[in-house]
Amino acid sequence: MKIKLAEGRRIRVLVVDDSVVIRRLVSDALGEDPEIEVVGSAANGSIALQRIPQLNPDVLTLDVEMPVMDGLQTLTALRPAYPNMVVIMFSTLTQRGASATMDALTRGANDYVTKASNVGSLDRSMEALRDDLLPKIKQFFLRPGGDRAAAQRVSPAAAPASAPAARTNQIAATAFKPIPGPKRAIALGVSTGGPTALADIFPLFPKDLRVPILMVQHMPPMFTKLLADRLTQISKIKVFEAQEGMPVEAGSAYLAPGDYHLTVRRKGTQVVCALNQGPPENSCRPAVDVLFRSVADVYGGSVVSAILTGMGQDGLRGVEVLKPIGSYVIAQDEPSSVVWGMPGAIARAGLADSVVPLPRVVPEILKHLG
C-alpha cells in the first residue's frame, strides 16, 4: 500500500549506519534528489530510536550490522511503535549479511539494498546508490496525480514502451480464454515483498502437487539459495535454487539463482533447468519475462501463471506470450501487495483472469490446475 504525500512534501529519510563514510555517501546521494529530504543520521539503532520522535522520518535506511544495537534489534523495537514507517535494509553481499537481511524481511523490513563493493570512484558509488536506493524508497509513496505519475517518477523501466503497450491492448481486446484440461506447470514472478509473500503461500501447496513450480524472485546471489532453503523448511514440497541441467519434476519448486536468468528446455523426454547470464530485462537478472517465454516454449499454454507483489512491470511481456496460447493468469490484488507494480501492470492491461488477495493465490492456482 502506497503512502500518500501532500503536494510539495518531500520524503523524509533518516540514515542509520555505523560507518561515517556510508552515512555521508547515502546522505549526499539522497540529498541530490529534489523529492527527498535527509533529516538526520545515526551511528546505531539505539541512537536512531531516540531521534525518530524528534525528526519524524518517513523512511529509515538501516544497516544490518552495527554495534550497540544492530539492524534486526532496531527493526524489532521499531515496528510496534511505527508499523507504517518504511524501512530499507543495507546488507553486505556475504552469507551472514544475506541471512540477516532475510530475517529482517520476515520481521517487517520493506525492502533492502546491497552495499556496493569495489565500485571504484566516489562518483560510481553515488551512481550505484541513486540507481538502486532511490527507486526502492520512492516505490512506497504516492504523490498527487495518481499511481501512474508516481510510477513514472520512481523508475523509467516501470512505464511500458509504446509498442508493447499497444500489443497488450490488442491482446486484452481479443479476450483469450484459458485452454481447458490439466495444466503441466506453475510459473510465478515476484519482487518487492516477495520473500514474505512466498513464505505465506508456500505452506499451502500440497505435498502431492502433481506439477512443478518455476519462479523468479528478484534477488542477488546467496540470497536466492537462502530463500529456497527457508521455503523448503516451511513447505510440504522441496524448493531448489535451480542449477544448470537440473531435472524439473512434479511436486518441486525451482527458484532462479541470483544474477542468472532461469529458462527450461527439453532434453529427451525430460524438462531441465537452463541458466544464462544474458542481458538484464526490465533492469533485472533474473527476469520473469525470460522465464515465462521459456515456459511458453516448453509447456505451451498448459500453465497457471501468477504475478505477485513487486516494483516495475517485469512479467508483463511474458504474460503477453502465455495468455494468447491459453495460460490461466493470476495477479495479486493491490491491498495485499507491498507494491502493486508488477501485478498492477497485468491487471491494468486486462491480462489477468483473476485478481485475488495473497491468501487466495494458491487456492486459485490449485483450482485451475485442471
Active site annotation includes 314: yes
**3-state SS, residue 290:** helix
Nearest CA to 367 out of 299, 264, 356, 289 is that of 356
Kindly report the number of other CB atoms within 10 A of residue 309's CB atom.
25
Q: Are strands 270-276 and 261-267 parallel, antiparallel or unpaired?
A: antiparallel
Q: How far apart are the first and last CA of the chain?
A: 33
CB 354 within 8 A of CB 330: yes
The residues that bridge with 186 in the sheet, in sequence order, are 213, 304
> Among all chains, which residue has been given the C-alpha cell 525528526?
55
CB 111 within 8 A of CB 89: yes
CA distance readout (Å), 67 to 71, 207, 215: 9, 43, 37
Give the full edge-to-edge strand order of the sheet including 303-307: 238-241, 252-255, 213-217, 185-190, 303-307, 328-332, 354-356
Active site annotation includes 131: no
Residue 215 is placed in which grid cell? 519462479
Residue 246 is placed in which grid cell? 537440473
User: Which residue out of 41, 91, 125, 191 is catalytically annotated?
Assistant: 191
Instruction: Kindly state the DSSP code that residue 2 receives in the 8-state scheme.
Output: P
Q: What's the rounded Cα separation, in Å, for the pair 63 and 14?
A: 12
Q: What's the rounded Cα separation, in Å, for the pair 290 and 13?
A: 35
User: Which residue out of 218, 261, 294, 327 is catalytically annotated?
Assistant: 218
Active site annotation includes 200: no
User: Which residue out of 314, 333, 337, 353 is catalytically annotated?
Assistant: 314
Single-letter amino acid, residue 4: K
Q: Is 286 exposed, middle or buried (0-12, 13-18, 19+ CB in 10 A)?
A: buried
Catalytic residues: 191, 218, 314
